[in-house]
């Protein structure tokens, strides 16, 4: 007879977890996120996810202005109960304080990029863009794998003007508006000059 191994799943506090918990709880799985006070664990990623991030990371670093930096898979603190982890971010260089830091504030993020996986589709299409927009992150990219050639398809968004909530007159909401969908080549002038050959993924 073999003894069953008990898994020590974390028990959430009554009011949910906070960013402080996310940053200090021991032994959390890699890339755990905090969404609305709940810990979100990431499933094992497909090869496409990894190499798409590598391709975009390299392309962004080639042309990023000197006062910005590109980072992959770092927590972005939006508020006390939300600490998502975009696949890529472009942040103000002044926000890079130490090689040991584990998060950035949303106010320092210029661009957030999410590469969609089967388990993250709803979050990457709905939850995260909504939170990034309301946090004031100016630019957002959503990256998916094309069903035809398995290359990246990049949907590009920028922040629209704030809108006053009709139900809460003192509250402004923000949203992204699409500016284009890119296949084979991602050539943009905002948020800075970017030119990435998406077909290069075939060589990675």
- CB 41 within 8 Å of CB 17: no
User: Backbone phi, then psi, for 78, in 5-degree steps?
Assistant: -95, -45
Q: With beta carbons less than 8 A apart as the criterion, state whether 86 and 112 touch.
A: yes
Tens-digit pLDDT profile for residues 28-86? 999 999 999 999 998 899 999 999 999 999 999 999 999 999 999 999 999 999 999 99
Angle at CA of residue 137, ends 136 and 142, nearest 5°: 135
Contact 143, 107 (CB under 8 A): no
How many degrees, rounded to 5, is the angle at CA 36 between CA 177 and CA 101? 85
Indicate the pairing of strand 103-105 with strand 152-159.
Answer: unpaired
**Rounded-to-integer distance, Cα 196 and Cα 192, Å:** 12
Q: Rounded mean pLDDT of the chain?
A: 92
pTM of the model: 0.91
Residue 173: per-residue pLDDT: 82
pLDDT digits (tens, 9 = 90+) for 141-164: 999 999 999 999 999 999 998 766
Q: What is the pLDDT of residue 13?
A: 87
The full DSSP string for 100-111 is T--EEEGGGEEE
């Amino acid at each position: 007879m073999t003894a069953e191994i008990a898994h020590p799943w974390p028990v959430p506090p009554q009011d949910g977890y906070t960013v402080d918990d996310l940053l200090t709880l021991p032994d959390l799985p890699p890339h755990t996120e905090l969404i609305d006070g709940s810990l979100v664990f990431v499933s094992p990623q497909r090869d496409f996810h990894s190499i798409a991030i590598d391709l975009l990371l390299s392309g962004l670093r080639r042309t990023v202005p000197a006062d910005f930096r590109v980072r992959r898979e770092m927590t972005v603190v939006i508020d006390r109960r939300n600490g998502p982890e975009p696949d890529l971010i472009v942040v103000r260089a002044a926000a890079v304080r130490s090689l040991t830091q584990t998060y950035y504030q949303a106010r320092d993020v210029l661009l957030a990029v999410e590469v969609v996986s089967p388990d993250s589709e709803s979050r990457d299409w709905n939850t995260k863009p909504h939170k990034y927009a309301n946090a004031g992150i100016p630019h957002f990219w959503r990256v998916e794998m094309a069903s035809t050639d398995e290359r990246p398809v990049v949907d590009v968004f920028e922040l629209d003007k704030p809108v006053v909530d009709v139900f809460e007159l003192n509250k402004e909401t923000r949203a992204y508006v699409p500016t284009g969908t890119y296949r084979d080549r991602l050539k943009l002038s905002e948020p800075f000059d970017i030119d990435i050959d998406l077909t290069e993924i075939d060589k990675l």
